[in-house]
Amino acid sequence: MSVAALRVRPAWALLENHFQKMQGLHLRQLFAEDAKRGEKFAVEAAGIYLDYSKNRMTAETLQLLLQLAEESGLRERIDAMFRGEKINVTEKRSVLHVALRAPRDATIMHDGENVVPQVHSVLDKMADFAVRLRSGAWQGHTGKRIRNVVNIGIGGSDLGPVMAYEALRYYSERAMTFRFVSNVDGTDFAEAVRDLDPLETLFIISSKTFTTLETMTNAHTARDWLLAGLNGEEKAIAKHFVAVSTNTKEVAKFGIDTDNMFGFWDWVGGRYSMDSAIGLSTMIAIGPENFRAMLDGFHEMDEHFRTAPFDRNLPVLLGLLTIWYADFFGAQTVAVLPYEQYLKRFPAYLQQLTMESNGKHVTLDGTQVDYDTGPIYWGEPGTNGQHSFYQLIHQGTRLIPCDFIAFMQSLNPLGRHHDMLLANVFAQTEALAFGKVEEEVKAEGTPDWLLPHRLFAGNRPSNTILLDRLTPAALGKLVALYEHSVFTQGTIWQIDSFDQWGVELGKVLAQRIIPQLEDTAEPKLEHDSSTNALIRRYRKRKGST
């Protein structure tokens, strides 16, 4: 199906017209007009309840957005992804993270081959390793039990593992220590290992390409640190280093036995890889059974996304609402606010998923877009954020659509804590939507001069996403929900959500500058005057105390 440019799709013009009407409508009015609104605009699927009624939309908005999804070829594109078509056109790659969580008997084809058996063979190898490590059967070079696991990776090879470890800490093996090193800033490595015994430490070098500067630098430092603790015995490497990568050649070059390598494939994007072998640290932490439960959660959401009608399709609805605010209301950001301490790294994880995917300025055929694409995602867990940035969401001049995420049951029930936590979720969405009008503020005895400061205009939209309990499966569903929301948005914008050329330039320039900082001979600097002066200043002062 050939898809027209976004602005000439019929639904777009209809939405533009419709927006004029919606702009002036208040959520107070929308709720007053329909006593059932709160239930009407809510949908439950795959164990997730999404209440999207506190959005600035009507049944007509929804119908037009759904029309836009149809006209954008969303259905065909979902099928194309699942069929293994090379929808990542700029890299000529398939996009098959859905195959990572397909059940053993499923068939997903890539270049004429069913990839599901390969996926499960890696999962089995990971499970075998995780069990040996957790039971103490896999020992360090001197026969000591491995108690510490350090994942070295960056971007998708770090954020997923860190987020999942934190999210599923409740299920983790508490007798083991898990650390994550990503930054090329030596402090990251130094602090991660300062209290660890090399004889009890396993490093997982996670890198899709196995060429990433930060990861390779940290991996070499880890190697030196280990050998320093083991009298330089090179043989020890085999017991203390494993690799997760798509690049066998580079892994072997680094000196890691490829028997100790866990593979994945170029059809898995870095930011879509936490459920591939990149999740090895997660599997060691929570055990293979819990890891498989997480994959089942992912898969349940995949199936929902693939088969549910769009008007009841959670990722489609989330994605369409994001388009509504980004392109019509001009909202620049989306706040993701998990009311769950274990999800503290979830917003950071989502930043790569959403912004590396949809931070694009040209369509698939290279045409400059004439509309806004990916919004800025950000957030912090509640209730903490309430005491810092929520002020701006409630009374600032910007429109910030919010996703509130909460669980019905606490993993750590303590007195009244959980009721208080959830009361805050509901109170925040209520306050944002309905605000506080002049009469109410006056009735509290507020003097006239103070009135404007104490008014809450309301009409600030939010989604409420509720799950029963933060289980491994629940985490899988939640991540897949956002993955497919990103997909929905990217499809409508007609961009490549699976490449990331924007990160290249800085990398190339850094490679050029490194020798200019390190060479003893004064380098010939041919940058702009600012960069030249900064380099000179650094060279002069780097050794000073």
Ligand X SMILES: O=P(O)(O)OC[C@H]1O[C@H](O)[C@H](O)[C@@H](O)[C@@H]1O
Tell me which residues are annotated as active site.
Answer: 356, 387, 507
Contact status, residue 148 vs residue 214, Cβ threshold 8 Å: no
* Nearest of 160, 183, 464 to residue 336 by alpha carbon: 464
Angle 336-339-344 from CA coordinates, rounded to 5° = 70
Distance separating alpha carbons of residues 445 and 203, to the nearest angstrom: 63
463 burial (CB, 10 Å; 0-12 / 13-18 / 19+) is buried
Smallest separation, CB 247 to ligand X (Å): 8
3-state secondary structure of 469: coil
Smallest separation, CB 159 to ligand X (Å): 8
Contact status, residue 158 vs residue 334, Cβ threshold 8 Å: no
Residues that bind ligand X (CB under 6 A): 154-157, 207-209, 212, 215, 270-271, 356, 500, 503
Q: What backbone phi and psi angles, to 5 degrees, belong to 242?
A: -130, 160
Smallest separation, CB 154 to ligand X (Å): 5
Nearer to ligand X, 279 or 287 (CB): 279
DSSP 151: E
Nearer to ligand X, 215 or 516 (CB): 215
3-state secondary structure of 185: coil
Smallest separation, CB 500 to ligand X (Å): 5
Nearer to ligand X, 155 or 347 (CB): 155
Largest CA distance in the chain: 78
Smallest separation, CB 356 to ligand X (Å): 6
Q: What type of residue sits at position 144?
A: K
Please list, in sequence order, all residues whose beta carbon lies within 8 angstroms of the beta carbon of residue 384, skipping any fewer than 6 positions away.
Answer: none
In angstroms, the Cα distances linking 115 to 110, 119, 126 are 6, 6, 17
Smallest separation, CB 155 to ligand X (Å): 3
Rg, C-alpha atoms of the chain: 25
Nearer to ligand X, 88 or 290 (CB): 88
Nearer to ligand X, 352 or 429 (CB): 352
Distance separating alpha carbons of residues 360 and 309, to the nearest angstrom: 28
